[in-house]
Structure 1
């Protein structure tokens, strides 16, 4: 079946509706009645379901947590899992175009969610429309499932699967091509410490705050210090020397005894911290060079410098692990909240598929002995793996090779997708090999040609799985 002409005829409609849903700021917010993740997320869900209604799909809203739309009949269900929530936009001033304007420039749609995951969601909807308009017969039902808090907990999928049976097989367009046959385990946890001893140092750290989400490389962090007269000049001098040695964007403002330090990084997805610059780690590296040990706050800063630093493979944190199939463990500091009484440091780890959470956390805890620092696991997702010979992997690889002519092999990733919520599921697209990864970053975009190409690929994939 050739869907290319059908998809091409829908080009203008696909672009328009992608822009419209990107303009909805669907960052999780305060819950309201019937809107468990806030008004913006609910608006995006209703937009998607209304669009599916207009296309002629059968829709259902699951209490604002999730929704689905069906095409065809049959006992077996082929699923495509997407999400409509987005991470915060960060510093708007760093974007070339407003993050919720869906501006088109140079053949690209710019905006938060364009690649993660609203653009792919639109491609999936129109893939179903292409199949519907082709009038081909299917043996299985095709179902698109819309999640609404993929970026911050997956309560949407828990609720959905408490109401509906999972599809018999599925894919999610929330990663890259070709097929993702394995995903690393994900741990989000806090380092925590209560500061029992009041700081009587000549330099007091009153607060350090930075980061938005554990799965984002933080692009901003700020510290407030108070210093005695004789220390202000030495701090200024130490700061100037630090800036000369390091290519970091950090600013210092001094007024009397009050010192504010602002650290600017580069946001990136937590699974690829090498693509960003961690604003928290930059700031902590400078504070670590000031040798503030002797009090609880100073000891924590020294711990950060010695055991975390600027590394993102867990080299000093006690969890440097690697395997053949999925590579190195990834360690991302996402959020810090420190005051004079306590500190909470939130970390997001992606660990290799052949290891366990016990192996990772035991190594981390060994480095904390004698420090009074504790760990608190917030959430954990086990690694997933399907054999390369699995029917789902093979069929999707066949579609990818046929449409692109690329003879690539299935891969593993550090990202976490909805493929984890059921047994027979994998991630499939939307990024093509070698493309720039802008998810969770400023100037996130999807090219219009890739949006159309993804629609064609997903139409073929759904047809092959459901025919």
Structure 2
């Protein structure tokens, strides 16, 4: 441990400089072109990473700019560390240039888009592997670093990579939180529509996986003097759809008003009462002892081209199936007069917390941090959701908020080094 820690401390500035190089590449998904399935910028970030891996003596491969890999040694890979180099758009509200890594000496923060999600962890994984190699730690198993370019927009990168290459039997991604995320709820996204009610226009929600913070409504009301147009905005509070208790749904707040004279709105208000988060009124409301209560969020409702179009984000427990949950929610919507435009999702993911792989990661976490390790179940999906036996291991520590997907995203220098140390220790213990 001391050798690894000393090595990483000695190469700290080099790691920070390389993270700055990655952050400077605006690797948001762009238009697909020949040879660039997700645009040129994600491919440019991948090129920079693989070039650095080559400099460190790793054997690299670029799988058609979908993803790339670096083998740390020449043995068959038994462990993969999976990270991604694409980022979400910067949005607004930054206090500095998002694509210029800013170091705050007083706080130790490294601020820039991708700092915690997931370029910082990718750089930490790279230097962890370099430490293993240059310190001459003897290995009996192969280690592979895998770098994706489309995690933020559906993980088509990983699906393509898996068609072309077989994953090692053990995979962890530092794209979540510590100690270990081993269980992830199933996910379902339902889009529905019906004829829009006359004289009503609604605009609420732009993405299906977020609690809508506002609902804009225009109604044409009949009065003695003639029709009168009424505008209004119902305010809520945004949150991720996997944790709706942190927000307030502006759509259901609007529907909770008396709209008995508009049947389609009345039907929706009955299916999605304001404040109900588990979908009980839709015939759902399931829970289990590991993953807890399910969530069901009416996250989009918009009138367009004569249709009222909605979207629902559902995260369901480990003991339920996609077919069961989709059958119930789609049946209730059809009974209420809605047409199902699409219904897609993923089954729950769970890796045995008693497996040697998970227990090794927990031991490493405890040894490096001094804190008790335990497994976590979440409502969100990580990069390993579709990988049997995969887990999320880092990169955020308990009670830490690196402003992921938000303005002024950051990782501290201390935690960048600590992530690298934990990953190096895990590589050494699993593969030596």
Fold match (TM-score > 0.5)? yes
Matched positions, count: 428
Partner secondary structure for residue 82 of structure 1? strand
Partner secondary structure for residue 282 of structure 2? coil
Structure 1 residues 161 and 442, CA gap change in structure 2 (3 angstroms): same
Question: Is contact 2:252-2:298 (8 Å) kept?
Answer: no
What aligned pairs does 1:21-420 form with structure 2 within 5 A after superposition? 21-90=22-91, 92-93=92-93, 95-105=94-104, 106-190=107-191, 192-195=192-195, 199=198, 204-212=199-207, 214-218=208-212, 221=214, 223=216, 225=218, 227=220, 230=223, 257=229, 259=231, 261=233, 263=235, 265-266=237-238, 268-275=239-246, 277=247, 281-283=249-251, 285-286=253-254, 289=257, 291=259, 294=261, 298-308=262-272, 309-420=274-385
Q: Give the Cα–Cα distance (whole angstroms) in 1 for the partners of residues 33 and 384 of structure 2.
A: 29
CA shift digits 1:99-121 (9 cap, x unpaired): 43433332222333322222211
State the partner residue of 2:420. Answer: 455
How far residue 260 of structure 1 moved from its aligned partner, in angstroms, is: 6.5
Partner secondary structure for residue 285 of structure 1? helix
TM score, norm. by length of structure 2 = 0.89
Q: Give the Cα–Cα distance (whole angstroms) in 2 for the partners of residues 87 and 216 of structure 1.
A: 15
Q: Give the Cα–Cα distance (whole angstroms) in 2 for the partners of residues 147 and 29 of structure 1.
A: 15
Q: Give the Cα–Cα distance (whole angstroms) in 2 for the partners of residues 343 and 41 of structure 1.
A: 36
Q: Give the Cα–Cα distance (whole angstroms) in 1 for the partners of residues 379 and 216 of structure 2.
A: 31
Question: Is contact 1:336-1:346 (8 Å) kept?
Answer: yes
CA shift digits 1:324-359 (9 cap, x unpaired): 111111234444442252233233322111211233
Gaps of 5+ in 2: none
Q: Give the Cα–Cα distance (whole angstroms) in 2 for the partners of residues 347 and 46 of structure 1.
A: 38
CA shift digits 1:420-441 (9 cap, x unpaired): 3333321111122222363333
Question: Is contact 2:77-2:142 (8 Å) kept?
Answer: yes
Question: Is contact 1:211-1:217 (8 Å) kept?
Answer: no
Partner secondary structure for residue 368 of structure 1? helix
Structure 1 residues 42 and 318, CA gap change in structure 2 (3 angstroms): farther
Q: Give the Cα–Cα distance (whole angstroms) in 1 for the partners of residues 5 and 332 of structure 2.
A: 56
Partner secondary structure for residue 64 of structure 1? coil
Question: Is contact 1:74-1:141 (8 Å) kept?
Answer: yes
TM score, norm. by length of structure 1 = 0.82
Partner secondary structure for residue 13 of structure 2? helix
How far residue 18 of structure 1 moved from its aligned partner, in angstroms, is: 2.0
Gaps of 5+ in 1: 235-255
Q: Give the Cα–Cα distance (whole angstroms) in 2 for the partners of residues 104 and 324 of structure 1.
A: 42
Q: Give the Cα–Cα distance (whole angstroms) in 2 for the partners of residues 365 and 378 of structure 1.
A: 8
